[in-house]
Amino acid sequence: MIVDERMRTYINSLDMGNTPFLDELEQNALSERVPIIRKEMQSFMKVLLAMKQPGRILEVGTAVGFSTLLMCEYGPPDLEIVTIENYQKRIPIARENFRRTGRESQITLLKGDAGEILKELDGTFDLIFMDAAKGQYIHWLPNVLRLMHRGSVLVSDNVLQEGDIIESHYLVERRNRTIYKRMREYLYELTHNPVLVTSILPLGDGVTVSVKQE
Ligand SMILES: C[S@@+](CC[C@H](N)C(=O)[O-])C[C@H]1O[C@@H](n2cnc3c(N)ncnc32)[C@H](O)[C@@H]1O
């Protein structure tokens, strides 16, 4: 927990919720233990969408399509989203959610490993949302940068890993050590790469917002 629990509860108590469909999808996802963006991340995304008014979004990590549909709902009406997911079980559920909301024509769901798909993508996106395998972000970054133009925004979720990325190597479970090490490398790169300006925010599970400058 990187934010005091009482403060988080208070902030979330002010949240007005989303559309009935999104609220139901969120409840279903939580009860099925499907990881989706937290309440505080949802409202942050809504603000970014209102500020940026993106025409094209790339999302890495669809799960059942909750954040994809939230971005469709609160982004501009002609928004196009390309979203990537590799977990076979979740793909038909996401597709069905896109169909039920009549958003199929706005969303392209690409099945497969993001590392492979990112290499093949062309063109640029106004906003890229990274919400998949956290240990891979650093490896995907060169292709992500290639897919950004000047002014594109890169949002990466769960970058502080419940605060564990600053814990001693010896206090962290062995299986997480590599992920945290790679995440620290990713944060270093985002904050030191001369083409990016980045802010690391202790919001939700930690989020970065980076803007490409050239
Ligand atoms: C946190 S969930 C995404 C949640 C979604 N963005 C939302 O808020 O509704 C992360 C998803 O990324 C997918 N994922 C993990 N590694 C991936 C990879 N290498 N390629 C494609 N998808 C991946 C997982 O299967 C999982 O469904």
CA 204 – CA 160 distance, rounded (Å)? 9
pLDDT at 179: 87
Which mutation among 23, 70, 86 tests ligand 1's pocket best, with the greatest number of atoms within 8 A of CB?
86
Which mutation among 42, 87, 103 tests ligand 1's pocket best, with the greatest number of atoms within 8 A of CB?
87
Domain of residue 72, residue span: 5-212
**For the chain, how many residues are written?**
214
What is the count of structural domains for the chain?
1
The SS3 assignment for 162 reads helix
Confidence of residue 71 (pLDDT cuts 50, 70, 90): very high
Which mutation among 23, 82, 131, 179 tests ligand 1's pocket best, with the greatest number of atoms within 8 A of CB?
131
Whether 114 is in the pocket of ligand 1, judged by its Cβ within 6 Å, is: yes
**113 CA → ligand 1 middle, Å:** 10
Whether 179 is in the pocket of ligand 1, judged by its Cβ within 6 Å, is: no
CATH of the domain at 172: 3.40.50.150
Q: What is the pLDDT of residues 36-53, one digit of tens each?
A: 999 999 999 999 999 999
> Of all residues in the chain, what percent carry a pLDDT higher than 70?
100
pLDDT at 115 over 80: yes
**137 CA → ligand 1 middle, Å:** 12
Nearest CA owner, ligand 1 atom 4: 36
pLDDT at 211: 98
Q: Which of 3-17, 127-141, 173-187, 193-207 has the lowest mean pLDDT?
A: 173-187
Q: What is the pLDDT of residues 163-214, one digit of tens each?
A: 777 877 777 677 778 888 899 999 999 999 999 999 999 999 999 999 999 7
pTM for the predicted model, two decimal places: 0.96
